[in-house]
Amino acid sequence: MSQRTFHFLAAILALGLFGCAATRMTSFVDPAYRGQKFTRLLVVADVPNLETRLQLENRMVESFREAGIDAIPGSNLFPPTREISEEEAALILKENKIEAYLEITPTDAGVETVALTPDKKVTETETETRGHFHWGSYGGSYSGSASATSETYSVEGRKYNLPWAVFSATMYDAETGATVWIANANTGGNAYATMQIVFGSFCDSVVDRLAEDRLIVKIVGK
């Protein structure tokens, strides 16, 4: 592999060959619930689009379960095909031993197009050395010659699409309906990320923040 090829591949990796995303989150715990732990949760995605709702609920449940927290998608207990009254909803939560329910909402989302334009040229030098090693009566010696070549080039400007989304999250006490926890989050992906990866970053961050806020206890190894 030439030096030029190596540096080109390194540049692609630096740009993010693998899809990933990062989330910035702000949260607040109601003083009455500080230190209270919840172990069985319901996840409800407040999204008009059915496909997005199911994806977001299932991904959030996956994040909870990987942390060892028992969680159920809201669509399992409250199918979107049914009209359920508040009294019926309260009974369903009680029968399924739901301690709290988490409502998550993507409030805004989109894709930002970024153009990367080369602003400088790069010069590379490749050196090749040839010679022979001689072993004589008084030790070894080396003789040979070296040659060097230089090449100047620039990387062509490219455009990358960066997915992003803004979320809100609210946790409610299933028994009283009181607000336990609120959070706002901004998530952005790199050039190789999909919106599903953006969702995943947000969901994992919610679990991490709830653990940091001492509302759940993550089980190590799950």
Name the token pair of 9: 């591949």
The answer on pLDDT for 107 being more than 70 is yes
In 3D space, the residue among 179, 188, 189, 181 whose CA is nearest the CA of residue 206 turns out to be 181
The answer on pLDDT for 200 being more than 60 is yes
The amino acid occupying position 4 is: R
Bridge partner residues of 100 (DSSP): 41, 173
Task: Report helix, strand or coil for 36.
Answer: coil
Which tens digits make up the pLDDT trace of 176-199?
999 999 999 999 988 888 899 999
Which tens digits make up the pLDDT trace of 5-21?
334 334 444 444 578 99
Region of residue 51 (left: phi > 0; alpha: psi -120 to 50; beta: else):
alpha
pLDDT bin (cut points 50, 70, 90) of residue 116 is: low
d(CA 71, CA 73): 7
189, 177 Cβ separation under 8 angstroms: no
109, 195 Cβ separation under 8 angstroms: yes
Q: Map out the domains of the chain with their CATH numbers.
A: 25-115+159-212 (3.40.50.10610)
Name the token pair of 12: 């692609």
